[in-house]
Amino acid sequence: MNVGDTAPDFVLPDHLGRRWQLSEALAISPVVLFFYPGAMTIGCTAETCHFRDLGAEFTALGATRVGISADPGNVQREFATRNAVDFPLLSDADGFVGNLYGARRNFALRPGKRATFVIGRDASVRGIITSELRMQKHADEALDILRSSFAA
């Protein structure tokens, strides 16, 4: 996946068991889709909470935040509850969507990569953030991309 590519559409269950589809979300707003290796881990908690804490800034820019990992729905639900997450966390249990986006690795314990995609309403990928160790970089850079790509 590269900047300028068309983001593949997909449907996955969110942490409340509801159906979530990328194209439906894009009909309303740009989407910041962040893949994280595993719920309940220190790094993924820090990353997810930073996206949560910057919620007003994402909302002001008209963007939807959504997290995704291979964790099952019950784990995603507990993760969202423990951390007061106010956006969907999607369960990609078989890794299909992660593979579509190049956000998977061949490592059984944590098969997901840490990668964030800023996607315009036209489904074009406007930015990609891939730092594995700088958790706050993902939300911060996604905001920068939104400001430069979608600001009026």
Catalytic residue among 44, 66, 70, 146: 44
Give the chain's end-to-end CA distance (angstroms, integer).
27
CATH number of the domain residue 45 falls in: 3.40.30.10
Q: Per the domain annotation, does 60 fall within a domain? A: yes
Count how many domains the chain has. Answer: 1
Query: Active-site residue 49, yes or no?
Result: no
Question: Do 112 and 69 touch, CB atoms closer than 8 A?
Answer: yes
The enclosing H or E element of 19 equals strand 19-21
Q: Which domain holds residue 34?
A: 11-150
Q: Per the domain annotation, does 23 fall within a domain? A: yes
Q: Per the domain annotation, does 2 fall within a domain? A: no
Q: Per the domain annotation, does 145 fall within a domain? A: yes
DSSP structure string for 73-112: HHHHHHHHHHTT--S-EEE-TT-HHHHHTT-B-S-SSS-B
Q: Per the domain annotation, does 38 fall within a domain? A: yes
> Per-residue confidence of the chain (152 residues) as pLDDT tens digits?
899 999 999 999 999 999 999 999 999 999 999 998 888 888 788 889 999 999 999 999 999 999 999 889 999 999 999 999 999 999 998 889 988 998 765 555 555 578 899 999 999 999 998 866 666 677 888 999 999 986 54
To the question of pTM greater than 0.85 for the whole model, the response is: yes
